[in-house]
A and B are shown apart, each in its own frame.
Chain A
Amino acid sequence: MSTPTPRATPAASGSSARPVFMRILKWGGLLALAIAVIGGVVGFLVDAERGLVSALVGTAMAILFTGLTAASILVANRFSGTDFFTAIFFAVVMGAWIVKFAIFLVLVFLLRDQPWINPVVMFLCIIAGVLGSLIVDVVVVATSRMSYASDVTLPGE
């Protein structure tokens, strides 16, 4: 008589993805610093203090809004193991996405006509921040090590 081998019980937790998202946020922050410095110097040369402020605002907006997706996934993963994890996960991630775009729209609409903003410098810094964060995301994910079947919990665990 043999004891039955314990079968892996699937648990959609996603907790194994946590280190990847932490690295994405860390490298995204460093990229923001680099773009803020370079953009700030170029903005200052182009349009003095107005250009400097626009560069800093544009970089902050780009990095904040692109990093929010990774942060929302990390927050949503705190609910792993609960009965409605999948529903909660997508509600948190997609909800954060919608709110993020609503805030982005309002900010761009309000900042456009401000006298202390140079729209072109701000726009270029937003593009640099968004494209830079894409590069960081791809590099971090491509160099990350994640096993297949990573979120398995055995019976009794």
Chain B
Amino acid sequence: MDATTVLAEINGNIATVGYGLAAIGPAIGVGIVVGKTIEGVARQPELAGRLQVLMYIGIAFTEALAFIGIATYFIFV
């Protein structure tokens, strides 16, 4: 039997796999940030303004991760 038998072959652009990997972390991060903000606004609606600003900072950091991750895979592949 041939020692280099191919069991599985992947075709296409590997950058799409990179996009998938880069999307996992920010998706979880933004989910937690938004979920906790909804929880906070539901408990104390008068704090909505402050919570929105804090939510924005959380979203900004997680989306930075996504932008850099996606751009890396698509530009250097």
Q: A residues within 8 Å of B by Cβ? A: 8, 10-17, 20-21, 24, 62, 65-66, 69-70, 73, 77, 86, 90, 93-94, 97, 101, 104-105, 108-109, 112, 119-120, 122-123, 126-127, 130-131, 133-134, 137-138, 141, 144, 146, 148-152
CA distance A11 to B47 in the complex (A): 9
Determine if B44 is an interface residue (Cβ-Cβ < 8 Å): yes
* Contact with A10, one of B38, B45, B60, B68 (Cβ below 8 angstroms): B45
CA distance A141 to B49 in the complex (A): 12
Please, which residue of chain B has its CB at the minimum distance from the CB of A109? B74
* Contact with A130, one of B15, B41, B67 (Cβ below 8 angstroms): B67
Q: B residues within 8 Å of A by Cβ? A: 15, 19, 30, 34, 38, 41-42, 44-54, 56-57, 59-61, 63-64, 66-68, 70-72, 74-76
In contact, A97 and B30 (Cβ under 8 angstroms) = yes
| A140 nearest CB across to chain B (Å) | 9
User: Which residues of the partner chain A approach B19 to less than 8 Å between Cβ atoms?
Assistant: 105
CA distance A65 to B76 in the complex (A): 21
Q: Once A and B bind, how many residue pairs between them come within 8 Å at the CB atom?
A: 116
Please name 11 pairs of A and B residues whose Cβ atoms are closer than 8 Å in the assembled complex, sorted by A: A10-B44, A11-B46, A14-B51, A21-B53, A66-B63, A93-B34, A105-B19, A108-B70, A122-B75, A126-B67, A150-B47
* Contact with A14, one of B48, B61, B72 (Cβ below 8 angstroms): B48
User: Which residues of the partner chain A approach B59 to less than 8 Å between Cβ atoms?
Assistant: 69, 97
Given pairs A10-B46, A122-B75, A137-B60, 17 additional interface contacts (CB within 8 A): A12-B48, A13-B49, A16-B50, A66-B60, A66-B63, A69-B59, A73-B52, A86-B38, A86-B42, A93-B34, A101-B70, A120-B75, A131-B64, A133-B60, A133-B64, A148-B50, A150-B47
* Contact with B53, one of A8, A20, A133 (Cβ below 8 angstroms): A20
Beyond A11-B45, A11-B46, A141-B53, whether A108 also contacts B60 by CB under 8 A is no
